[in-house]
Amino acid sequence: MQQRRQFLKNVALAGTTGLITPLSFAEQLQQSQPRISAERSLHLYNIHTGESLKTTFWADGEYLDDEIQQIDLLMRDHRANQAIAMQRRLYDKLHHLQHLFHSQQPMYVVSAYRAPKTNASLRQQSSGVAEGSMHMQGKAIDIRIPGVSHRHLHKAAMAMRSGGVGYYPKSGFIHIDTGRRRHWQGA
Protein backbone atom coordinates (compact mmCIF):
# COMPACT_ATOMS: atom_id res chain seq x y z
CA MET A 1 0.00 0.00 0.00
CA GLN A 2 2.88 2.34 0.77
CA GLN A 3 4.30 1.79 -2.74
CA ARG A 4 0.92 2.63 -4.28
CA ARG A 5 0.72 5.89 -2.32
CA GLN A 6 4.21 6.84 -3.40
CA PHE A 7 3.39 5.99 -7.02
CA LEU A 8 0.22 8.10 -7.01
CA LYS A 9 2.08 10.96 -5.32
CA ASN A 10 4.74 10.82 -8.03
CA VAL A 11 2.11 10.70 -10.78
CA ALA A 12 0.47 13.80 -9.28
CA LEU A 13 3.83 15.56 -9.13
CA ALA A 14 4.52 14.70 -12.76
CA GLY A 15 1.38 16.52 -13.81
CA THR A 16 1.96 19.62 -11.72
CA THR A 17 5.70 20.19 -11.71
CA GLY A 18 6.90 18.47 -14.85
CA LEU A 19 9.93 17.28 -12.87
CA ILE A 20 9.43 13.60 -13.57
CA THR A 21 10.66 12.59 -17.00
CA PRO A 22 9.07 9.70 -18.91
CA LEU A 23 12.06 7.53 -18.02
CA SER A 24 11.88 8.28 -14.31
CA PHE A 25 8.11 7.85 -14.44
CA ALA A 26 8.64 4.39 -15.96
CA GLU A 27 11.10 3.60 -13.19
CA GLN A 28 8.57 4.75 -10.59
CA LEU A 29 5.91 2.62 -12.24
CA GLN A 30 8.16 -0.43 -12.26
CA GLN A 31 9.00 0.01 -8.57
CA SER A 32 5.32 0.29 -7.67
CA GLN A 33 4.23 -2.79 -9.61
CA PRO A 34 2.73 -5.61 -7.62
CA ARG A 35 4.43 -8.96 -7.60
CA ILE A 36 3.58 -11.22 -10.51
CA SER A 37 0.54 -13.21 -9.53
CA ALA A 38 -0.38 -16.76 -10.37
CA GLU A 39 -3.59 -15.46 -11.92
CA ARG A 40 -4.62 -12.63 -14.22
CA SER A 41 -8.16 -11.35 -13.97
CA LEU A 42 -10.21 -8.61 -15.56
CA HIS A 43 -13.28 -6.71 -14.43
CA LEU A 44 -14.87 -5.15 -17.52
CA TYR A 45 -17.96 -3.16 -18.45
CA ASN A 46 -19.02 -2.54 -22.05
CA ILE A 47 -20.54 0.96 -22.10
CA HIS A 48 -22.58 0.23 -25.24
CA THR A 49 -24.18 -3.09 -24.32
CA GLY A 50 -24.30 -2.69 -20.53
CA GLU A 51 -22.63 -6.08 -20.13
CA SER A 52 -20.24 -6.66 -17.28
CA LEU A 53 -17.72 -9.45 -16.75
CA LYS A 54 -15.37 -10.35 -13.95
CA THR A 55 -13.16 -13.29 -14.86
CA THR A 56 -9.77 -14.90 -14.47
CA PHE A 57 -8.35 -15.44 -17.95
CA TRP A 58 -4.87 -16.73 -17.08
CA ALA A 59 -3.88 -19.17 -14.34
CA ASP A 60 -1.14 -21.70 -13.64
CA GLY A 61 0.97 -20.39 -16.51
CA GLU A 62 -1.64 -20.57 -19.27
CA TYR A 63 -4.57 -18.77 -20.80
CA LEU A 64 -8.03 -20.14 -20.03
CA ASP A 65 -9.76 -20.48 -23.39
CA ASP A 66 -13.34 -20.47 -22.09
CA GLU A 67 -12.72 -17.26 -20.15
CA ILE A 68 -10.92 -15.64 -23.10
CA GLN A 69 -13.95 -16.41 -25.28
CA GLN A 70 -16.21 -14.65 -22.77
CA ILE A 71 -13.99 -11.58 -22.89
CA ASP A 72 -13.89 -11.71 -26.70
CA LEU A 73 -17.70 -11.71 -26.73
CA LEU A 74 -17.84 -8.66 -24.47
CA MET A 75 -15.34 -6.94 -26.81
CA ARG A 76 -17.53 -7.52 -29.88
CA ASP A 77 -18.61 -4.86 -32.33
CA HIS A 78 -21.99 -3.96 -30.84
CA ARG A 79 -23.16 -2.32 -34.08
CA ALA A 80 -22.60 -5.43 -36.22
CA ASN A 81 -22.93 -7.90 -33.33
CA GLN A 82 -19.71 -9.60 -34.48
CA ALA A 83 -16.84 -10.88 -32.37
CA ILE A 84 -13.36 -12.14 -33.18
CA ALA A 85 -10.54 -13.58 -31.11
CA MET A 86 -8.81 -10.53 -29.69
CA GLN A 87 -5.07 -10.62 -29.18
CA ARG A 88 -4.29 -12.05 -25.76
CA ARG A 89 -1.42 -9.62 -25.14
CA LEU A 90 -4.05 -6.89 -25.14
CA TYR A 91 -5.77 -8.58 -22.20
CA ASP A 92 -2.41 -8.79 -20.41
CA LYS A 93 -2.01 -5.03 -20.84
CA LEU A 94 -5.51 -4.40 -19.50
CA HIS A 95 -4.80 -6.63 -16.51
CA HIS A 96 -1.59 -4.74 -15.83
CA LEU A 97 -3.35 -1.35 -15.84
CA GLN A 98 -6.30 -2.52 -13.78
CA HIS A 99 -4.02 -4.17 -11.25
CA LEU A 100 -1.72 -1.15 -11.10
CA PHE A 101 -4.51 1.20 -10.07
CA HIS A 102 -6.12 -1.31 -7.69
CA SER A 103 -9.48 -0.28 -9.07
CA GLN A 104 -12.57 -1.80 -7.52
CA GLN A 105 -14.54 -0.44 -10.47
CA PRO A 106 -14.70 -2.28 -13.77
CA MET A 107 -12.60 -1.02 -16.65
CA TYR A 108 -14.94 0.65 -19.14
CA VAL A 109 -14.67 -0.64 -22.71
CA VAL A 110 -15.39 2.28 -25.06
CA SER A 111 -14.42 0.50 -28.28
CA ALA A 112 -12.75 -2.84 -28.95
CA TYR A 113 -13.34 -4.96 -32.05
CA ARG A 114 -14.73 -3.12 -35.07
CA ALA A 115 -16.03 -4.90 -38.14
CA PRO A 116 -14.66 -3.37 -41.37
CA LYS A 117 -18.11 -1.95 -42.25
CA THR A 118 -18.38 -0.29 -38.83
CA ASN A 119 -14.89 1.15 -39.14
CA ALA A 120 -15.69 2.57 -42.59
CA SER A 121 -18.87 4.16 -41.23
CA LEU A 122 -17.01 5.70 -38.29
CA ARG A 123 -14.33 7.03 -40.68
CA GLN A 124 -17.04 8.96 -42.54
CA GLN A 125 -18.06 10.59 -39.26
CA SER A 126 -14.58 11.36 -37.87
CA SER A 127 -11.12 12.00 -39.25
CA GLY A 128 -9.67 10.37 -36.13
CA VAL A 129 -10.58 6.83 -37.23
CA ALA A 130 -7.77 5.05 -39.07
CA GLU A 131 -8.58 3.30 -42.34
CA GLY A 132 -6.60 0.21 -41.34
CA SER A 133 -7.51 0.46 -37.67
CA MET A 134 -6.02 -2.14 -35.35
CA HIS A 135 -9.52 -2.41 -33.85
CA MET A 136 -10.47 -4.42 -36.97
CA GLN A 137 -7.68 -6.90 -36.23
CA GLY A 138 -8.57 -7.42 -32.57
CA LYS A 139 -5.37 -5.66 -31.50
CA ALA A 140 -6.75 -2.42 -30.02
CA ILE A 141 -9.09 -1.16 -27.34
CA ASP A 142 -10.27 2.22 -26.06
CA ILE A 143 -10.77 2.31 -22.29
CA ARG A 144 -11.26 4.35 -19.16
CA ILE A 145 -11.31 3.44 -15.48
CA PRO A 146 -13.84 5.26 -13.28
CA GLY A 147 -12.07 7.15 -10.52
CA VAL A 148 -8.73 7.20 -12.37
CA SER A 149 -7.83 10.35 -14.26
CA HIS A 150 -7.35 9.90 -17.98
CA ARG A 151 -4.00 11.66 -17.66
CA HIS A 152 -2.76 9.14 -15.06
CA LEU A 153 -4.08 6.20 -17.08
CA HIS A 154 -2.33 7.58 -20.16
CA LYS A 155 0.98 7.97 -18.31
CA ALA A 156 0.76 4.42 -16.97
CA ALA A 157 0.03 3.06 -20.47
CA MET A 158 3.00 5.02 -21.86
CA ALA A 159 5.24 3.65 -19.10
CA MET A 160 4.54 0.11 -20.31
CA ARG A 161 6.71 1.08 -23.30
CA SER A 162 4.98 -1.21 -25.78
CA GLY A 163 2.43 -0.85 -28.53
CA GLY A 164 0.44 2.21 -29.44
CA VAL A 165 -1.02 4.61 -26.89
CA GLY A 166 -3.51 7.28 -27.87
CA TYR A 167 -4.70 9.96 -25.46
CA TYR A 168 -8.17 11.42 -26.02
CA PRO A 169 -8.73 13.80 -23.08
CA LYS A 170 -11.84 15.52 -24.46
CA SER A 171 -13.46 12.23 -25.41
CA GLY A 172 -12.49 10.73 -22.04
CA PHE A 173 -10.54 7.60 -22.93
CA ILE A 174 -7.18 6.20 -23.88
CA HIS A 175 -6.39 3.82 -26.73
CA ILE A 176 -3.94 0.97 -26.34
CA ASP A 177 -2.89 -1.57 -28.93
CA THR A 178 -0.32 -4.29 -29.52
CA GLY A 179 1.20 -2.77 -32.65
CA ARG A 180 4.53 -1.02 -32.95
CA ARG A 181 5.50 1.44 -30.25
CA ARG A 182 4.07 4.93 -30.93
CA HIS A 183 1.88 7.56 -29.29
CA TRP A 184 -0.44 10.40 -30.23
CA GLN A 185 -3.09 12.72 -28.85
CA GLY A 186 -6.57 13.09 -30.28
CA ALA A 187 -9.66 15.01 -29.30
Burial 2-24 (b: 16+ CB within 10 A, else e): eeeeebeebbeebeeeeebeeee
Structure confidence by residue, pLDDT tens digits, 29-68:
555 444 456 899 999 999 999 999 999 999 999 999 999 9
Question: What's the confidence (pLDDT) of residue 103?
Answer: 86
Range of the domain at 17: 1-33
Nearest to residue 91, comparing CAs of 61, 112, 114?
112
Q: How many domains does the chain have?
A: 2
Q: Please report the pLDDT score of residue 9 as a whole number.
A: 52
102 and 166 share one domain? yes
pTM of the predicted protein model: 0.79
Q: Are 83 and 108 contained in the same domain?
A: yes
What is the C-alpha to C-alpha distance for residues 185 and 91, in angstroms, rounded to an integer?
A: 22
Ranges in the chain, pLDDT < 50: 1, 12-26, 32-35
pLDDT number for residue 131? 83
| Residue-wise pLDDT tens digits, 169-179 | 999 999 999 99
